[in-house]
Amino acid sequence: MFKENISIKDYNTFKIDIKCKFFSEFKNTKELKKILESSIYHKNKSIVLGGGSNILFTNDYDGLVLKNNINGIKIIKEDNSNVNVEVGAGVDWNKFVNWSVERNLSGIENLALIPGSVGASPVQNIGAYGMEVKDSIVRVYAFDIQNKAEHIFQNKECNFKYRDSIFKKELKNKIIITKVVFKLVKEPINNISYGDIASELQILKLSPSPKNIAKAVTNIRSKKLPNPQILGNCGSFFKNPVLEKDKFLKLKKKFPNIVHFVISENKIKIPAGWLIENIGLKGYRKGDVGIHKEQALVIVNYGKASGKDILKIAEKVQIKVKENYDIKIEPEVNII
Ligand SMILES: Cc1cc2nc3c(=O)[nH]c(=O)nc-3n(C[C@H](O)[C@H](O)[C@H](O)COP(=O)(O)OP(=O)(O)OC[C@H]3O[C@@H](n4cnc5c(N)ncnc54)[C@H](O)[C@@H]3O)c2cc1C
C-alpha cells in the first residue's frame, strides 16, 4: 500500500525532483479509508495530489503523498434541458471535457486542455476563456480526514471565488474530494467573445458548438502555453490582481497603456502577465528557471531547477511588481 522514499518528479508538472517519505495511491473510498486508518497515515503529515499541475514542492516532502485515482463518469439525471454527471475525482479534466463535448453538452468547453484532475477543479475554481467551473458544479463529495466521514458540499457551500474556494482556504488539507457532480446544458452556450476564440473558429472554418469551441480553445492554448510534458511549468504562477478604481486611475496616469478589465463599478482586474512583461521580465532566465518567452505569467523549469530556485524567481517577480506598481501579486500555485 505504501512506497517509501520515492521521487515524485513524474507526479508534478514543474518536474521538480523531490522525494517524499511515503507515497500511496487509491482508486476508491474503501482504499482511501484503509490508508487513513493506517499507522503511517497517523504518524505523518499528508497531502493529496491529482495531476500535480498546480503545486510547487520547495523541499523533500517529509510525509505521505496520496495520489487520487478515483475513476468513473456517470450520467445520474437527465431532462429536456440538462444532464447531471457524476465524475470521479481522479478523472483527467480534459478527458471529461472531451466526454462532454462529444455528447454536444455545454458548460465546460471553454475549459478544454486545462491540465489536472476533476477533483482539483473545484479547489481553485478553474477558469479560462470566459468560463469558470463553479457555474457547472452542483455539488462536491469530500472525505473528511479527521472524522473519516463523507461530506457533501452544495455549490453555495463551496464559497467559490476567482481561483478560490473553501477547499483552498478553510478546508485546505482537511478534506479529500472524491467525486464532483456537474450540471451540463443541452442548449449550447457558445461563449466565443473571450480572447481569440471567434477568430480561431474562423481560421478553422468551424461554426460555434461545444466541440468546435473546445477545439479552438485547444489550438489557442497549444500555441500560447508551454506543454508541461516538454517544459516543466504550472501554468499561471500568479493570480491577476484586482484594484480599487482610485488606485487604478492613478496607475493609468503613469502607465496609459495598462491592460485592464472592469469587473464592477469600483473593481478593475489587471493581467499580472502584463505587469510582469511591462517591466521587461518576459523571457528572463537564471540557470534552469525562467519566465516563459511567450507568456510572462508562466514560470518554467528548463531542466534541473529545484523548487527553491523557482520560488526565488517568483519572489523576485513579486518584489519588482511591488516596486514598480505598488501592487502585491499573490501566487495561484500551491507552494509546499
Ligand atoms: C500548462 C498549464 C496551464 C494551466 N491553465 C490553467 C487555466 O487556464 N485555468 C486554471 O484555473 N488553472 C490552470 N492551470 C492550473 C491547474 O491545471 C489547475 O489548477 C488544476 O485544477 C490542477 O489540478 P491537479 O489535479 O493537477 O491539482 P494538483 O496540482 O495535484 O493539486 C492542486 C491543489 O489541490 C489539492 N487537491 C488536489 N486534488 C485534491 C482532491 N481530490 N481533494 C482535495 N484537494 C485536492 C492539492 O492538495 C493542491 O493543494 C494550468 C496548469 C498548467 C500546467
Closest CA to ligand 1's atom 52: 235
Residue 145's pLDDT band (cuts 50, 70, 90): confident
Give 130-135 contacts, CB < 8 A, sequence gap 24+: 130/191, 130/193, 130/194, 130/195, 131/107, 131/191, 132/160, 132/162, 133/108, 134/158, 134/160, 134/165, 135/107
Q: What's the CA-to-centroid distance between 204 and ligand 1, angstroms?
A: 29
- pLDDT computed for residue 24 by the predictor: 97
**Lowest-confidence pick of 16-25, 76-85, 142-151:** 142-151
User: Which of 106, 117, 236, 306 is an active site residue?
Assistant: 236
Residue 2 has pLDDT above 90, yes or no: yes
Residue 50 and residue 70: Cα distance in Å, rounded? 10
- pLDDT computed for residue 181 by the predictor: 98
Residue 70's pLDDT band (cuts 50, 70, 90): very high
The radius of gyration of the chain's CA atoms, rounded to the nearest angstrom, is 20
136 classed as catalytic: no
Residue 108 has pLDDT above 90, yes or no: yes
Domain boundaries, the chain: 3-68, 73-224, 232-335
Q: What is the mean pLDDT of the chain?
A: 95
Q: What's the CA-to-centroid distance between 114 and ligand 1, angstroms?
A: 9
Closest CA to ligand 1's atom 11: 126
The gap between the terminal CA atoms of the chain, to the nearest Å, is: 24
Please, is 19 exposed, middle or buried when counting C-beta atoms within 10 Å of its C-beta (0-12, 13-18, 19+)? middle
Q: Are 67 and 89 in contact (CB under 8 A)?
A: no
DSSP state of 170: T
Smallest CA-to-CA distance from 178 within 51, 37, 26 is with 26
Q: What's the CA-to-centroid distance between 46 and ligand 1, angstroms?
A: 17
- pLDDT computed for residue 19 by the predictor: 97
pLDDT tens digits along 162-211: 999 999 999 998 999 999 999 999 999 999 988 799 999 999 999 999 99
Beta bridge partners of 46: 64
Q: Are 281 and 266 in contact (CB under 8 A)?
A: no
Closest CA to ligand 1's atom 6: 114
Residue 86 and residue 72: Cα distance in Å, rounded? 8
Residue 12, ligand 1, Cβ within 6 A = no
139 classed as catalytic: no
**What cell does 6 get?**
520515492
Residue 148 has pLDDT above 90, yes or no: no
pLDDT tens digits along 227-281: 999 999 999 999 999 999 999 999 999 999 999 989 888 999 999 999 999 999 9
- The CATH architecture to which 232-335 belongs is Alpha-Beta Complex (3.90)
Residue 12's pLDDT band (cuts 50, 70, 90): very high
Residue 97 and residue 205: Cα distance in Å, rounded? 22
Query: In this structure, which topology does domain 73-224 adopt according to CATH?
Result: 3.30.465
pLDDT tens digits along 280-309: 999 999 999 999 999 999 999 999 999 999
CB count in 10 Å sphere of residue 215: 18
Domain 3-68 matching CATH 3.30.43.10: the answer reads yes
